[in-house]
Amino acid sequence: MTNNDIFKKLRVALRLKDTDIIKILALVDYKVSESELSALFRSEDHPNYKPAGDQILRNFLNGLIIHLRGPMEKKAPPPTPKMGLQGPKR
């Protein structure tokens, strides 16, 4: 199964339009035009077919996480242990 096949199956399963995919990719600062995107969804024997690389699929999946879950919350730094004048208890 190629990256293009995975991309196509996710597109159908999630009922995404080209504009939705472009917006999802924009969430991770990956820019792609509609014509570039349509080349990924063409059949392999089409003259304008373009194989999807790992980078675009990875960025789409990362953007999809942000799209579905929302942006990751920043974690608070762990509290520093406070030691008294006597030092830690044993």
Walk along the chain (90 residues) and give the pLDDT tens digit of each residue: 999 999 999 999 999 999 999 999 999 999 999 999 999 999 999 999 999 999 999 999 999 999 998 877 777 777 777 766 666 666
Between CA 22 and CA 6 the distance in angstroms is 17
Domain that includes residue 53, residue range = 3-69
- Give the list of residues 6+ apart from residue 17 with CB closer than 8 angstroms, or none: none
The pLDDT, as a whole number, for residue 79 is 78
| Terminal alpha carbon distance of the chain | 59
In a domain, 77, yes or no: no
In a domain, 85, yes or no: no
Count: domains in the chain: 1
In a domain, 65, yes or no: yes
Residue type, 70: G
What does pTM read for this prediction? 0.74
The pLDDT, as a whole number, for residue 85 is 62
In a domain, 36, yes or no: yes
Please give the torsion angle defined by the CA atoms of residues 16, 12, 50 and 36, in that order, rounded to the nearest 10 degrees.
Answer: -10
